[in-house]
């Protein structure tokens, strides 16, 4: 569901079923001093409750797209499209794995949604439509999935890393960055 930039009420009755299920969403956040790279891996399958379509439309704003791959094959320009509202990828078949890499600049984000700084912390605000400022995703309340999240950051700058879910691993990467990874198959809802 695309909206223009003017604020308007969106009612639950306005939603048609999203044509794809997001069976699992895995994210890797690599937090750097000037920007953050967000890697997404979305396992998608057709939603039998919605009309079939040969493409998936993902919401996204203020994202620097680095790469898109479908079922392990990197896509070239022309095999997907972007605009100010999001990313569209042609998908044939009943299921696919969509991998997306974007770069965001939390330090420049003054909207208080998405990933943004507050003092020495980086925080997220994903409701109601803030998740689209983090990565391309169907940012709507009726798309539920399981999330796997890994956060990688410089331990000296960010000594505590926290994501919703139960911590299953923490440690140091080869480059001295700290890592945290919540359990596989976490909760639902975007953000």
Answer yes or no: are the C-beta atoms of 182 and 148 closer than 8 Å.
yes
- d(C-alpha 83, C-alpha 13), whole Å: 26
Burial class, 190, CB count within 10 angstroms (exposed 0-12 / middle 13-18 / buried 19+):
buried
Residues 133, 27, 146, 68: is their CA dihedral positive or negative? positive
Each of the 191 residues of the chain gets a pLDDT tens digit; together they read 444 556 677 777 777 899 999 999 999 999 999 999 999 999 999 999 999 999 999 999 999 999 999 999 999 989 999 999 999 999 999 999 999 999 999 999 999 899 999 988 898 998 878 999 999 999 888 899 998 999 999 999 888 887 776 677 777 776 655 555 443 433 333 33
Domains of the chain with CATH codes: 16-181 (2.60.40.1730)
Taking phi over 0 as left and psi of -120 to 50 as alpha, with beta for the rest, 121 belongs to beta
């Amino acid at each position: 569901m695309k909206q223009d930039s003017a604020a308007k009420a969106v009612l639950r009755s306005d939603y048609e079923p999203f044509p794809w299920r997001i069976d699992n969403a895995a994210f890797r956040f690599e937090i750097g001093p000037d920007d953050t790279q967000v890697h997404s891996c979305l396992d998608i399958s057709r939603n039998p409750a919605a009309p079939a379509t040969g493409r998936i439309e993902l919401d996204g704003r203020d994202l620097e797209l680095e790469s898109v791959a479908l079922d392990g094959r990197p896509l070239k320009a022309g095999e997907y499209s972007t605009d100010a509202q999001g990313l569209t990828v042609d998908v044939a078949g009943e299921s696919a794995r969509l991998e997306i890499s974007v770069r965001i600049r939390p330090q420049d984000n003054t909207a208080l949604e998405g990933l943004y700084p507050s003092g020495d912390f980086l925080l997220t605000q994903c409701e109601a439509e803030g998740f689209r400022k983090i990565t391309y995703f169907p940012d709507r309340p009726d798309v539920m999935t399981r999330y796997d999240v890994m956060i990688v950051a410089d331990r000296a700058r960010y000594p505590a890393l926290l994501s919703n879910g139960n911590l299953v691993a923490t440690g140091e990467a080869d480059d001295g960055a700290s890592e945290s990874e919540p359990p596989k198959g976490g909760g639902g809802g975007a953000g």
